[in-house]
Amino acid sequence: MRVLAKAVRMAGICLWAAVLLVGAEVDVDPLSFDRRIAPLLDTLCYPCHNGEKTKGDVNLKQDQDLRQIIDHRATWQIALKKLRASEMPPAKAQVQPSAAERAQLVGFINRTINNLDCAHSADPGAAIARRLTHAEYDNALRDLLGLDLRLSQSFPADGVSFGFDNNGAALTMPPVLAERYYDAATAALDALWSDPQARAHLIGMPPGNGAGEEAAARAIITRVATRAYRHPVEPVHLDRLMTLFRMARRQGLPFADAVRPMLQAVLISPRFLVRIEENRPDELGPYPLGAYDMASRLSFFLWSSPPDDVLLAAAAANHLSRPEELEGQARRMLADPRARALGEHFAGQWLQLRALEGHRPDATAFPEFTPGLKQAMAEEARLVIDEVIMHDHPITELIDADYTYLNGDLARLYGIAGVEGPAMRRVQLADHRRGGLLTMAAVLTFTADPLRSNIPRRGNYLLSAFLGEPPQSPPPVVPPLEDSAGHDAQLTIREMIDLHRRNPDCAACHAKIDPLGIGLENYDAIGRWQDQQAGKTIDASGSLPGGEVFDGSVALKRILLAHRTAFARSMSSQLLIYALGRGLIYPDDCVLDDMLAALERSSYRFSALVVTVVLSFPFTHRRNPDS
């Protein structure tokens, strides 16, 4: 019975898991889990991680076969790490494994969840239709009408998943948004009607009456709808749009005004607002994307905009199925100013730079923090990122670089002489206290509190954004730090952090978090260099769990550069999430490996990442949606 139940369950699993299982069962004695592993888990792990007791929100007991373990791979990945580091079972647990038992468990978990056969497990993930993000909507209207209206400012903010606002699942279409789209379409057409030049560009001059007029209207709407839908339009759909034109003419509207209802319909059509990719009903598994869908994926990824004429022509000629052509297009587009969208939307969200906008340092403590300075901080980050993207620099310049962009205000904040005036300019740096994102005022400010620096928050930021190792959540009940210290107002934050570490409930995670933040302790809450705090000289030295010691941000950056693979993998996974508009699945590990290899081959140049993503299996393939 049990075997049968298992077989039935198996029938429903995705292809790659099946492939993996077959692979795993070739390697491993199929009964080894029940016979050898389950008893170990039972004595070592289940006591705290079962259905009722789930310390750290971890339930290992729910996974009773290999497939379930693979399904909950992220959890088991952490378990593997903890087992390897002998962090689990905790020292206080009564039952401890022998070295051999630990090795056996580690070997089993590793084989089960890290045994991806990239030749056989390619998977594009579930099909999902992505609604245009607000930025994409604005750009699409701009390309369509020739007017940069930024109407999405009136839309409610999009949800954020995995740090990005372009996640397919989170891009919902609530009724409120339908109203906004309708009003925005009306506003856009109002704007077009009040701009004779733009209107003439789109609609042209009214033709003579009769058959010529019909043909002219059809030509207009064919052109507009094709561009708006990013895809050739079926004649039957054009026929339906034309009924609106005829109706308007019958009601006595002049030619241009009679075209308008068709435009209104196009602008509120889901074909415009949603990227609906073509199905191939006959295909059971993944298949290559259609040419126009490929063009859209590429341009929304690199430009946050619909495809331009060159890309549409390449799609029409069916060139995009050739990898060299696809790469050529990607490189062309990366060099185009529209690729700044990657800096703004990808890097800006990955590195959380949008947080600066809403952050307000205390005005009394930091009168220097003017709107102008804040603007310069944001610009500095944007310009350095643009330089890496547009000029294809090594991505390690985001950790440390010998240049940055400053204006007079920002240079004064940094204590750098010789830069005056409001304009931002490229500045060669004399030392490494600046250079790279981490030591930029923008990042140092939004990772601080309004009044003071915040060591754990800065450490958390570094771990999450730069090293791709977001700390686990703190226990919901955080014991007050001062209980063991009394109310001593003169404690520096550094001293408070030391208390942090003495508390066993906090210590495990904060041993990783705090040192990174401490390394940045020489920068105050608006990113200004400081040698002293509360009358004491700042001690920005620390040691990392790996044993490396450092003193201050310059040394910390050097360590991060030495660990550049971790940074590169973090950035790669973020870029892949952004490009695919979904969370990563197990087979995506193969793409990440390819991205890292491409970086190594290219001295870490940014374009290596982009080209590898664009040519990857999940980016160029899809499957039919479940129904």
Partner 1 sequence: MIDGVGHSASALVSRRAVLRGVGVALALPWLESAEPASAAPSKPPLRLGFFYLPNGVVMDRWKPTTTGSDFAFTQILKPLEPFRSRLLVLSDLAADHCEARVAGHENAGGGFLVGATCARSEEPKAGGISVDQLAARVLGEQTPVDCLTLGVESGGRGEFGYSGTYLSHLSWRSPTSPAPVEINPRQLFTRLFRGWRARSPAQERSAAQPADGSLDRSVLDLVREDAWSLRRTLGTRDREKLDDYLDGLRTIERRIAGGGVPEPDRLGVGELADAAPAFPQGQDLPPVYADHVNLMLDILVLAFQADITRVATFMFGSEKSDRAYPEIGAPGSHHSTSHHGNKPENLSALTLINTHHASLFARMLARLQQIKEGDGTLLDQVVFCYGGGISDGAWHNHNNLPILLAGGGGGTLKGGRHIAFGRKTPLCNLYLDMLARCGVSLDRFGDSTGRLAQLA
Residue pointed to by tokens 């208390």 = 499
- CA distances (Å), origin 516, targets 438, 507, 508, 545: 11, 14, 14, 11
For residue 447, the minimal CB distance to partner 1 (Å) is 11
Binding mask 522-561 for partner 1 (x = CB under 8 A): ----------------------------------------
Can residue 169 be called a binding residue for partner 1 (CB under 8 A)?
Answer: yes
Can residue 159 be called a binding residue for partner 1 (CB under 8 A)?
Answer: yes
Can residue 163 be called a binding residue for partner 1 (CB under 8 A)?
Answer: yes
Can residue 257 be called a binding residue for partner 1 (CB under 8 A)?
Answer: yes
What's the gap between Cα 166 and its chain centre?
Answer: 8
Site for partner 1 in 374-433 (CB under 8 A): none
**CA proximity to 293, closest of 523, 534, 620:** 620
Can residue 368 be called a binding residue for partner 1 (CB under 8 A)?
Answer: no
Applying CB under 8 A, among 310, 451, 549, 561 the residue interacting with partner 1 is 451
Element (H, E) at 250: helix 235-250
DSSP classification of residue 624: P
Q: Is 261 exposed, middle or buried (0-12, 13-18, 19+ CB in 10 A)?
A: middle
Applying CB under 8 A, among 112, 121, 133, 167 the residue interacting with partner 1 is 167
Give 330 or 516: the residue with its C-beta nearer to partner 1.
516
Site for partner 1 in 60-119 (CB under 8 A): 74
- The DSSP result for 330-377, as a single string, is HHHHHTSGGGHHIIIIIIHHHTTTTHHHH----TTT-TT--HHHHHHH
Distance CA 334, CA 21 (A): 40
Applying CB under 8 A, among 154, 209, 370, 532 the residue interacting with partner 1 is 154
For residue 19, the minimal CB distance to partner 1 (Å) is 23
Give 94 or 194: the residue with its C-beta nearer to partner 1.
194
Give 131 or 528: the residue with its C-beta nearer to partner 1.
131
CA gyration radius for the chain?
A: 28
Element (H, E) at 540: none
Distance CA 342, CA 610 (A): 10
Q: Is 443 exposed, middle or buried (0-12, 13-18, 19+ CB in 10 A)?
A: buried
Q: Is 367 exposed, middle or buried (0-12, 13-18, 19+ CB in 10 A)?
A: exposed
Give 329 or 570: the residue with its C-beta nearer to partner 1.
570
Stretch that binds partner 1, among 244-252, 394-402, 531-539, 590-598 (CB under 8 A): 244-252
Applying CB under 8 A, among 147, 268, 566, 615 the residue interacting with partner 1 is 268
Can residue 271 be called a binding residue for partner 1 (CB under 8 A)?
Answer: yes
Applying CB under 8 A, among 276, 390, 416, 544 the residue interacting with partner 1 is 276
For residues 230 and 295, is the Cβ–Cβ distance under 8 A? yes
Give 416 or 481: the residue with its C-beta nearer to partner 1.
481
Applying CB under 8 A, among 62, 269, 503, 602 the residue interacting with partner 1 is 269
For residues 146 and 202, is the Cβ–Cβ distance under 8 A? yes
Number of residues counted as binding partner 1 (CB under 8 A): 95
Residues 6+ apart with CB under 8 A from 94: none
For residue 451, the minimal CB distance to partner 1 (Å) is 6
Residues 6+ apart with CB under 8 A from 345: 133, 135, 164, 165, 166, 304, 578
Can residue 153 be called a binding residue for partner 1 (CB under 8 A)?
Answer: yes
Can residue 161 be called a binding residue for partner 1 (CB under 8 A)?
Answer: yes
Stretch that binds partner 1, among 19-27, 238-246, 372-380, 428-436 (CB under 8 A): 238-246
Stretch that binds partner 1, among 20-28, 183-191, 403-411, 558-566 (CB under 8 A): 183-191
For residue 329, the minimal CB distance to partner 1 (Å) is 27
Can residue 29 be called a binding residue for partner 1 (CB under 8 A)?
Answer: no
